[in-house]
Structure 1
Amino acid sequence: MALKSTIYKAQLQLADMDRHVYADHALTLARHPSETEERLMMRVLAFALYVAADDHHGQLEFTKGLSDVDEPALWHKDLTGQLLHWIELGQPDERRLLKAAGRSDRVTVISYAASTPVWWAPLQGKLARVSNITVWQIPADQSQALAALAQRGMSLQVTVQDGIVWVGDGQRSVQIEPVKLTA
């Protein structure tokens, strides 16, 4: 018998002063049996960092992700179905990223493992010629601290200012400082 996904619900209060995006979002996330809480919370973080101020040009959505190898963790499609933004988590291989770059206007990778420098070193030169791929690293200690905020029902406040992200649940907060690996 196959294991079922665990449902998490998050009330997200977003104040992104860098992009002037201020909104409340009710998120429902299905955590795949093989997904860690750290990855789940990285999906929430990616949503907060890339959700648009309005839905006039489509919406940022969680995808099947781990259940479908042809989909990223999140994507933003416009109202015609054209793929505008492909968001990957972890350490995807070069072929996957190049394929995504061909399918989408913009590709963002958020890597959060301690092994990110080892993964990134051989890819850096190969992906330098692809202008629509941006790679970010979240330090492993910060992504693990974010994972500690995960609960089946959570209320999170996310504040972004000067490239620094604060995520809190009313009792605890985590400061996240993403590091851009691409030029």
Structure 2
Amino acid sequence: MALKSTVFKADLQVSDMDRHYYQSHALTIAQHPSETDDRMMVRVLAFALNADEALAFGKGISSDDEPDLWRKELTGDVDLWIEIGQPDEQRIRRAAGRANRVIVYSYSGRSAEVWWKKTAAAVARTKNVSVVDIAPATVEALAALTQRTMQIQFMVQDGQAQVISGDTIVPVELTTLS
């Protein structure tokens, strides 16, 4: 018998002063049985970093044809394709061909460094792909916030981001690789 996804609810308040974007999002997040809390919370962070009314969770880990998050235009064209983790070169190329812009959020510390060394040349050949690494301390702190029902505030000001949940403040450390 196949295991079912675990459903999480998050009330996400985004205050992005750099983009002048202020909005509340009621998120329903399905955590695949093979997905860790780290990865799921990185998906939530990626949503917050790119928050938009049209941004939606895709099938991601359980599909080869959909990203973890995406934003489609009214015409059905994919404007933004977001991958989480360490996708292979073929998946990145396919995403770059289908979307106007692709962002990969890597987050696994040392293994992400090894993946990046192997993948950097392929990414350099594409004009519409960005790669951002999330510091292990940020991922660990975000995973500690995981609850079935979450209240999360995300704030960005002057390029500095932080996640607030209850009394916990998590500074978001990002490194742009490409």
Normalised-by-shorter TM-score class: over 0.9
Further displaced range: 119-128 or 16-25:
119-128
2:144 aligned with 1:148: yes
Q: How does 1:30-69 map to 2 (within 5 A)?
A: 30-52=30-52, 55=53, 59-69=54-64
Deviations 1:127-164 (CA, angstroms, capped at 9, x unpaired): 21211000000011211111101100010011012222
Contact 1:164 1:178 in 2 (8 A): no
Contact 1:163 1:178 in 2 (8 A): no
Task: Give 3-state SS (helix, strand or coil) of 1:4's partner.
Answer: coil
Q: Which amino acid aligns with 1:4?
A: K
Q: Which amino acid aligns with 2:44?
A: V
Contact 1:138 1:179 in 2 (8 A): yes
Q: How does 1:120-131 map to 2 (within 5 A)?
A: 120-131=116-127
- The aligned residue for residue 98 of structure 1 is 93
Contact 1:61 1:75 in 2 (8 A): yes
Take 1:159 and 1:6, find their aligned partners in 2: how far apart are those partners? 27
2:84 aligned with 1:84: no
Match for residue 154 of structure 2 among 140, 155, 158: 158
- The aligned residue for residue 108 of structure 2 is 113
Unaligned runs of 5+ in 1: none
Take 1:170 and 1:139, find their aligned partners in 2: how far apart are those partners? 22
Take 2:62 and 2:100, find their aligned partners in 1: how far apart are those partners? 24
Identity %: 53
Contact 1:163 1:177 in 2 (8 A): no
Take 1:64 and 1:98, find their aligned partners in 2: how far apart are those partners? 18
RMSD of aligned C-alpha atoms? 1.0
2:164 aligned with 1:168: yes
Deviations 1:25-83 (CA, angstroms, capped at 9, x unpaired): 1101111111111111111111111122xx4xxx1110111221221100100111111
2:176 aligned with 1:177: no
- Normalising by the residue count of structure 1, what TM-score does the alignment of the two structures yield? 0.93
- The aligned residue for residue 5 of structure 1 is 5
Take 1:18 and 1:108, find their aligned partners in 2: how far apart are those partners? 19
Match for residue 73 of structure 1 among 68, 72, 84: 68
- The aligned residue for residue 17 of structure 2 is 17
Unaligned runs of 5+ in 2: none
Runs in 1 of length 4+ with deviation above 6 angstroms?
Answer: none
Contact 1:60 1:77 in 2 (8 A): yes
- Normalising by the residue count of structure 2, what TM-score does the alignment of the two structures yield? 0.96
